[in-house]
């Protein structure tokens, strides 16, 4: 059995970008050309899983990542890994367990997905960025010195920003009723949302690096290529509708109330999600904050307009 690169969350927003990019990078590598790619999924029957199973060198594995042990990692000869964890309240316990198992199994390098850099601090009001801060602190401790790692801190995903606008346009085209648009963006504050797949592309390039020492303990900020405001997003919608938007809601986080109402856990934790976009509204998440290494290795290219066009075709 050949050594393996493990992709946790291979069918997700970022993981799909990793598993689609990594095969060609490994094929071109003198060091890793014989390595396997293990693409983890909860169901081999999903459309995305079946699609990535056709990629060269990719083995789709049906496995719950939270149940992975050090023995499993050793048996599968995992040498490098990518993980995009969930952001539920159990994240720290479950991701730290995975990383501990990676350490004990002798995995040499892990690339993980964090969250918006401006939110990753210990007293962030939203709960899950605190978990990411704690994970990065854990990985930085002397006890984890043997496990090399990079943490990617992407801005809000374009799918989250553009999705509601897409649905408003599609609904208007069906009914012809007066256009109504809501967005999590502020009216005037510039934000550079990023395509999740392009975060995965950058992660794949890191995983395929021969020399990872320069990337060890790095925290990379990833944004899209250009800033956009809520007003610009509304104008974009009007162009597609060929109609004036009469009813607009900016800074719309009302969806969090529904999430809290349906949650079986702490409603206080879920309601704290309402604070997650405040750094963006304050102008702290612009394209100018992107790490130079990202721009040098795999600069994001997809804009809000391009993603909107693609989603309207689906």
Give the pLDDT confidence of 158-214 residue by residue, as tens digits: 999 999 999 999 999 999 887 789 999 999 999 999 999 999 999 999 999 999 999
Q: Which residues contact 46 (CB under 8 A, 6 or more apart)?
A: 11
Domain hosting 163: range is 158-192+224-285+302-313
The span from the CA of 147 to the CA of 246, in Å, is: 54
User: Average per-residue pLDDT in the chain?
Assistant: 95
pLDDT tens, residue by residue, 78-134: 999 999 999 999 999 999 999 999 999 999 999 999 999 999 999 999 999 999 999
Contact 120, 133 (CB under 8 A): yes
**93 CB burial (10 A radius; 0-12, 13-18, 19+):** exposed
Residue 248 lies in a domain: yes
Mean of pLDDT values over 54-68: 94
Q: Which residue has the higher pLDDT, 53 or 132?
A: 132
**For a pLDDT cut of 70, what percent of the chain falls above it?**
100
Query: Does 74 lie in the same domain as 186?
Result: no
Contact 36, 57 (CB under 8 A): yes
The span from the CA of 102 to the CA of 68, in Å, is: 9
CA torsion, ordered 81, 86, 89, 92, to nearest 10 deg: 10
Contact 91, 136 (CB under 8 A): no
Q: Which two tokens stand for residue 58?
A: 């990719």
- Across 47-51, 153-157, 182-186, least confident range: 47-51
Give how many domains the chain has, as a whole number. Answer: 2
Contact 280, 191 (CB under 8 A): yes
Query: Does 87 lie in the same domain as 43?
Result: yes
* Residue 237, pLDDT score: 94
pLDDT tens, residue by residue, 204-214: 999 999 999 99
The span from the CA of 71 to the CA of 105, in Å, is: 7
Residue 10 lies in a domain: yes
Helices 230-241 & 158-175 angle (0-180, nearest 10) = 30
**pTM, whole model, 2 decimals?**
0.96
Beta strands at 148-154 and 180-182: parallel, antiparallel or unpaired: unpaired
Query: Does 218 lie in the same domain as 113?
Result: yes
**What DSSP designation does 180 have?**
E
Residue 277 lies in a domain: yes
Q: Which two tokens stand for residue 298?
A: 């795999």
Mean of pLDDT values over 1-28: 95
Query: Does 199 lie in the same domain as 163?
Result: no
């Amino acid at each position: 059995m050949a050594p393996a690169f493990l992709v946790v969350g291979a069918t997700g927003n970022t993981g799909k970008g990793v598993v689609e990019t990594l095969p060609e990078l490994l094929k071109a590598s003198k060091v890793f050309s014989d390595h396997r790619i293990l693409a983890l999924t909860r169901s081999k029957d999903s459309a995305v899983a079946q699609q990535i199973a056709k990629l060269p060198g990719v083995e789709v594995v049906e496995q719950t990542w939270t149940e992975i042990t050090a023995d499993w990692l050793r048996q599968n000869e995992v040498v490098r890994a990518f993980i995009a964890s969930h952001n539920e309240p159990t994240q720290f316990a479950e991701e730290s367990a995975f990383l501990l198992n990676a350490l004990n199994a002798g995995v040499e390098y892990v690339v993980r997905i964090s969250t918006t850099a401006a939110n990753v601090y210990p007293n962030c009001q939203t709960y899950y960025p605190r978990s990411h801060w704690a994970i990065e602190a854990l990985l930085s401790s002397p006890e984890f010195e043997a496990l090399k790692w990079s943490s990617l801190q992407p801005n809000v995903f374009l799918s989250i920003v553009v999705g509601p606008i897409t649905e408003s346009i599609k609904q208007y085209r069906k009914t012809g009723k007066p256009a109504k648009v809501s967005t999590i963006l502020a009216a005037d504050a510039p934000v550079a949302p990023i395509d999740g797949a392009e975060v995965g592309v950058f992660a794949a390039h890191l995983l395929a690096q021969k020399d990872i020492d320069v990337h060890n303990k790095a925290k990379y900020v990833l944004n899209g290529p250009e800033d956009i405001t809520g007003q610009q997003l509304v104008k974009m919608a009007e162009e597609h509708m060929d109609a004036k938007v009469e009813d607009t809601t900016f800074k719309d986080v009302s969806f969090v109330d529904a999430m809290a109402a349906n949650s079986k856990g702490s409603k206080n934790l879920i309601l704290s999600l309402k604070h997650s976009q405040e750094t963006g509204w304050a102008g702290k998440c612009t394209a100018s904050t992107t790490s130079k290494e990202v721009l040098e290795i795999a600069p994001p290219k997809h804009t809000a307009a391009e993603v909107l066009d693609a989603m309207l075709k689906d």
